Structure 1
Amino acid sequence: MKKLLSIVAISMMMSCSDQSSELKNTIKEDQQIDEINKMGLKLISSGFNAGDGYAEVWIRDFNTFVTQSAKVLDQKDIKDNILNFFYIQEADGNIADGFIEVRPGYDSTYYKKSALKPSLAYHKNTVETDHETSLVQTVYKYIKATNDRSILNEVIDGKTVTERLVMSMDFLMNERYNEKYGLLWGATTADWGDVQPEHPWGVALDENSHLTIDIYDNAMFVIALNNMIEICGHQIDVVKWTKIKDEITNNVRTHLWDEKNQKYIPHIYLHGSPFPKDFDENEIMYHGGTAVAIQAGFLTKKEIKVSLEKMIKNVKESGAPSIGLTLYPVYPEGFFQNTGMHPYGYQNGGDWTWFGARMISALIENGYEKEAWEQAQPMFDRVLKNKGFYEWYTRDNQPTGSGMFRGSAGVLLDAIDAFQDYANED
């Protein structure tokens, strides 16, 4: 019997090895990813703003293409654009959403002018809790891509970048930490989005906001803490931040993971929900937040596979083009005052490569290369079909939003790099 089992095991290993070799050859021979890579690098080489629909350099976007920027842009220009976020950092440590270069006629009611660098004006969408974590991740990726650790010792208004990174994490613990759950909070949004339901625009916290805890903000926080601990080392209080990281990780599992349904609950409301009492929000699965949670190391390999299967099922049931589908089922008509947040609109069921490709990279990192390759194909196909990297896609796979969205290019090229690294393994 033992001999028979050994034969079966060897046979299975050989079969897996053959499949792996076949996939690696497929990736090596695939011409579309080379073309997409060239297209993406050309776009990223043209600047730092999020896309042709945005004047700002947004930190949550810059974080997702800085690695690719290092391949095609001057290192000093990249560094200067990162440092700009520290010039607009406020005294409590918070980081702005994005900045513009001040020019005649700029809207001074929307933007604040930087006191440390008056040529910059900045804005913060206060419903979000990912600006600070995005900046830490951006600095980390810059160092990994360039080996330039000198950025950590740059001094801005008497404080080094390392000190300012710590300030930004302290801001989250001081201003966005809920003691009861031991997790970060933000406003109610759809998954990773920046639009709350209570207003026609919906980007600013006020007395109408419903504060809540979600998976995306806390996964981004843990990734940032891992990054900061790695690059800053003995210059920071590693014991303190490791303890916080571990507590956040454990509290995510305790309070946000729905063991029965094998998914994250959308929100823990701190003072009531903005939605009708008879609405069962926990039917919704957040694709983007789940992908980032996998990147944060929150899920087991088995749970990752279950999550992927749920995403694929959601894509089939919704008719969406890819697992970049933001969430499913979608919020009903009228649940968001912002008219762009209609069912299958924008962040309420739009399909975003910007997050879908993060899931692709997460699958590769966790040994699901075959599944990743299969799920990446719709994202590859539409780049070539539409000759560009659009911000998001409708349910019938029509491109919309910014037509040159650098975040989409950045994460898709990251995934291509991961595929090629896998294919070139011995």
Structure 2
Amino acid sequence: MKNLFFAIASSALLFSCNPSGSKGTQNSWQADMKKDSSFQLVKDMATNTIKSGFNAGDGYGEVWIRDYNTFINLATQVHPHEQIKDQLLIFLKLQGPDGNIADGFVKKASLKNGTSDYYTITNVLAPDYAGHKNTVETDQETSLIQAVYKYVNASQDTSFLSTKVGNSSVKDKMENALQFLMNERYNKTYGLLWGATTVDWGDVQPEHDWGVHLDENSHIALDIYDNAMFLIALDNYIELVPEKASQWKPIRDEIATNTMKHLWDEKNQKFIPHIYINGSPFSSDFDENQIYYHGGTAIAIEANLLSKEQIKTALDKMVKNVKDSGAATIGLTIYPTYPAGSFKNKGMYPYGYQNGGDWTWFGGRMIQQLVKNGYEKEAYEQMKPMLDRVIKNKGFYEWYTKDNKPEGSGTFRGEAGVLFDAISLLEKSQG
């Protein structure tokens, strides 16, 4: 199983299997990297950003689990562990009776009269907080499990798994979250999880002006991101709670097999965007399979679904997409984009937001996977423009336009977290 925190092999071993270099020979990229001041500068900037809070960024009042999952490693280094645990426990205290996990939470005191039509999730276990759930997604439960795993690995605080949340333990609540996905988001025909039709890892469906809630107009679909996130969460859970392996390992193996059977396009060496359960929301003359999903592919690599050769092919495709689109980095969400008018949400124009915006939040995760799979030189090359724009813009932004202009929330902690982790992995790989 691929462990998110597995120990990086020795430099000698890395160089012996690494196409980027050989033992005893330091290539120019390695020399350049060792002199690269942007590494420490961006790490310092990321540290200060994570020190300043837990909400996703200055455009968001709430703590989001999908964001928290990507900066919890650094948060564990700069915040007291009790604070880290408190944030995780609030998600578990707000967990629904069916096991579902909220997207995010705020303090009720921040709401007018303590109530809101959006923050409707409450629980007597967390009387001061209210949460919300964007139901088009199928990644809140898996993000929570991954975040707990990262905290336990970083802190070695295994006792946290036995902490009581109401009448249940943390590890029991984690299993309840996995069971929710099997009960409520599992398609028996394909043996995979489903969600609403969104762009890659996104949370905006085409049928509505906002587009974050399932309803009778939603088009149900299977995609790589949701299922790869589930695989990572299953691996994490089995490692933390090995006594449950006999129950969940067969499910993990089934999901992995079915993902490659149904979602992998062998001829084109890519994941297909969607398998539709009740029809597509897009025009019948639109060939959606021309689109390459960068983010979902990176998460599939993290889920250990692709071989080393397939990873290199994926990187080559991403680099070509960046060149062909005129974008700045492999954080490019997708290429080509969905046509203008495909989404009622006006922010989802071609190369806008999740429809082809450039997100280091996922590009940085691809960098991590390149390092872990022996492509250090390529990781350095592809990370450099991400670091350069953080320095140029004096901070971390949610996403970037095709011409590399920052957009969305500033102090975007997800970007800070994934870049810090990517830099740290690359530094460690070089000894």
TM-score by length of 1: 0.94
Equivalent residue number for residue 104 of structure 2: 98
Report the CA distance shift for 1:193/1:14 in structure 2 as closer, same or farther (over 3 A). Answer: closer
SS at match of 1:212: strand
Post-superposition Cα deviations, 1:189-222, rounded to whole Å, max 9, x if no partner, equal 0000000000000000000000000000000000
Deviations 1:83-107 (CA, angstroms, capped at 9, x unpaired): 1101100100000001001115155
Write out aligned runs for 1:236-251 (5 A). Answer: 237-251=244-258
1:165 to partner: Cα distance: 0.3
Aligned partner of 2:171 in structure 1 is 162
Residues 1:216 and 2:225 aligned together: yes
Looking at structure 1, the residues matched to 49 and 276 of structure 2 have their Cα atoms a distance apart, in angstroms, of 40
Question: For residue 59 of structure 1, what is the aligned residue in structure 2?
Answer: 65
Cα-to-partner distance string for 1:150-193 (whole Å, 9 max, x where unaligned): 21011111000010000000000000000010000000000000
Give the Cα–Cα distance (whole angstroms) in 2 for the partners of residues 245 and 94 of structure 1.
19
Matches within 5 A, 1:26-175: 26-103=32-109, 104-105=111-112, 106-112=114-120, 113-175=122-184
8 Å contact from structure 2 (residues 20, 375) kept in 1: no
8 Å Cα contact 1:389/1:408 also seen in 2: yes
Indicate the larger mover: 28-37 or 248-257: 28-37
1:258 corresponds to: 265
Corresponding residue for residue 207 of structure 2: 198
Which secondary structure does the structure 2 equivalent of 1:383 belong to? Answer: helix
Listed as ranges, the gaps of 5+ residues in structure 1 are 1-9
The residue that corresponds to 2:342 in the other structure is 335
Q: Secondary structure at the match of 1:341?
A: coil
1:4 is aligned to none
Distance in 1 between the 2:177 and 2:29 partners?
A: 43
**Amino acid aligned to 2:156:** N
Deviation sequence 1:338-375 (CA, Å, 0-9, x none): 00000000000000000000000000000010111100
Shift of 1:240: 1.6
Q: For residue 124 of structure 1, what is the amino acid of its counterpart? A: K
The aligned residue for residue 377 of structure 1 is 384
Give the whole-Å Cα distance in 1 for the aligned partners of 2:20 and 2:322: 33
- The one-letter code of the counterpart of 1:154 is T
| Mapping for residues 271-350 of structure 1, pairs under 5 Å | 271-350=278-357
TM-score normalised over the length of structure 2 = 0.93
Q: Are 2:333 and 2:356, in contact at CA under 8 Å, matched by a contact in 1?
A: yes
Q: Give the AA of the match of 1:42.
A: N
Written as runs of structure 1 = structure 2, the 5 A alignment for 1:394-409 is: 394-409=401-416
Flag the 1:396–1:18 CA change in 2: closer, same or farther, 3 A: farther
Paired with 2:25 and 2:207, the residues of 1 have a C-alpha distance of 51
The aligned amino acid for 1:156 is: V
Give 1:232 shift.
1.4
The answer for the alignment partner of 2:13 in structure 1 is none
**Does the Cα contact within 8 Å between 1:102 and 1:120 map onto a contact in 2?**
yes
In structure 1, what is the Cα distance between the partners aligned to 2:20 and 2:67? 42
Does the 8 A contact of 1:28 with 1:423 survive in 2? no
Distance change in 2, residues 1:414/1:181 (3 Å): same
Q: Give the 3-state SS of the residue equivalent to 1:151 in structure 2.
A: helix
Contact 1:25 1:423 in 2 (8 A): no
CA contact (8 A) 1:114 1:122 kept: no
Q: Residue 122 of structure 1: SS of its match in structure 2? A: strand
Residue-by-residue CA offset, 1:293-312 (whole Å, 9 max, x unaligned): 00000001111011100000
Q: Equivalent pairs: percent with the same residue?
A: 58
Residues 119 and 132 in structure 2, CA contact (< 8 A), matched pair in contact too: yes
Deviation, structure 1 residue 115: 2.7
- Tell me which residue corresponds to 2:11: none
Give yes or no for contact 1:27–1:419 (8 Å, CA) kept in 2: no
Give 1:19 deviation, angstroms: 5.3
Name the CA distance, whole Å, in 2 between partners of 1:191 and 1:206: 20
State how far apart, in whole Å, the 1-side matches of 2:47 and 2:373 are: 26
1:271 to partner: Cα distance: 0.8
Question: Could you say if the C-alpha distance between residues 211 and 231 of structure 1 is closer, same or farther in structure 2, counting changes exceeding 3 Å?
Answer: same
Q: Which runs of 5+ in 2 are unaligned?
A: 1-15
Q: Secondary structure at the match of 2:22?
A: helix
**C-alpha distance in 1 between matches for 2:28 and 2:160:** 42
Structure 1 residue 111: Cα displacement: 1.1
- Answering whether residue 236 of structure 2 is matched by residue 230 of structure 1, we say no
Partner of 1:178: 187
**Which residue identity lines up with residue 287 of structure 2 in the other structure?**
D
Task: Give me the whole-angstrom Cα distance separating, in 1, the residues matched to 2:309 and 2:81.
Answer: 40
CA contact (8 A) 2:108 2:115 kept: no
User: Retained in 1: the 8 A contact 2:142–2:230?
Assistant: yes
Cα deviation, residue 26, structure 1: 3.2
SS at match of 1:412: helix
Matches of 1:146 and 1:27 in 2, distance apart?
29
What RMSD, in angstroms, separates the aligned Cα atoms of the two structures? Answer: 1.5
The Cα of 1:17 is off from its aligned counterpart by 3.0
Q: Does 1:189 pair with 2:198?
A: yes
Gap change, CA 1:19 and 1:390, over 3 Å in 2: farther
Query: Within 2, Cα distance between the matches of 1:319 and 1:19?
Result: 35
> What is the CA distance between 1:233 and its match in structure 2?
1.6
1:393 matched to 2:400? The reply is yes
